[in-house]
Amino acid sequence: MNSSKLTWRGVYPAATTQFTPDLDVDIPATQAVLDALVKDGVDGLIIAGTCGENNSLEAEEKRAVVKAAVEVVDGRVPILVGVSEFTTRRAVTFAQDAEKLGVDGLMLLPAMVYVPTVGELCTHFETVAKATSLPIMLYNNPPAYRVNIGIDALTRLADTPNIVAVKESAPDPRRFTDLINAFGDRYILMAGLDDVAFEGLLLGAHGWISGLTSAFPRESVALVAAINRGDLEEALRIYRWFMPLLHLDADHDLVQSIKLAESIMGRGTEHVRLPRMPLEGQRRADVIRWVEQCAATQPSLTAV
């Protein structure tokens, strides 16, 4: 169910940023992708995350994308924006600008490239949090970013009131139980890796930050709705159908794969910026085959 209130429930696709064939940011196409996702029932949107190619955007392009998202969504669902910068100062500046542009929350990443100590990691997060009044979701993805936001860091950060949630993208679902055992309900947990989303939602995640939802939003919404009403048979049916594509979210070329899936489903283009390049060869053929198979066998859905 759509709502402008940030409830941390349901499905929040990590939306793509669309580019022209010349690889300029395509604002109308980006807005069209976001509008279609909202109309298909998603509960919120993540803008300028990994799938939004945050670190391939120039500073003013990021702000233009945020402004365009706020404009087209028009309060129908909450918007969170990725804060993925190389330095803490840049992260503070972007967080403050995003707040002025009207987003509802931030998805805050460790500073890019540099692998910090626990103290440096916490100071980065605390500094950004103190610079904004927005609620913040930390993004934990050790395989991708070489940094683990461990229990020691989260213990220190528990005193920062607007750090309220954790997007958990570690591939080990035991992490959800460990965090709940350590912190109770101090942090809202969000499932952040598509091919363990079902497990995360059963183990206490409030919602799902999803990559492949950009290609199959109705099925993603139906999956979470089935879990929420206790219909695990229905949820498993959808999850098993979806799994060949969900595995793509754990691969290094997830952005290209998701954009190719979007393109096949008529929801966007596969243009990506260097150093990313569109998929080629057997990998491209495999992804096309998996998407087309899913498209040909889309499950009937219970109304949500």
Q: Among 12, 139, 187, 239, which one carries the catalytic annotation?
A: 139
In sequence order, what E strands does the chain have? 10-13, 45-47, 79-83, 105-108, 136-140, 163-168, 188-191, 207-210
Do 47 and 80 touch, CB atoms closer than 8 A?
Answer: yes
Question: 101 and 66 in contact (C-beta within 8 Å)?
Answer: yes
Active site (annotated) includes residue 187:
no
Is 167 a catalytic site residue? yes
Candidates 12, 167, 187, 259; catalytic one: 167
Q: Which residues pair with 25 in a beta bridge?
A: 19
- Does residue 274 contact residue 255 with C-beta atoms inside 8 Å? no
Q: Which two tokens stand for residue 270?
A: 């596969």
CA-to-CA dists, residue 292 to 180, 200, 210, 222, angstroms: 38, 27, 20, 20
Q: Give the neighbor-by-neighbor strand order of the sheet with 105-108.
A: 10-13, 207-210, 188-191, 163-168, 136-140, 105-108, 79-83, 45-47
The dihedral sign for the CA sequence 207, 12, 144, 193: positive
Q: Does 47 belong to an annotated binding site?
A: no
Q: Which residues fall in the annotated binding site for pyruvate?
A: 209
Q: Which residues are catalytic?
A: 139, 167
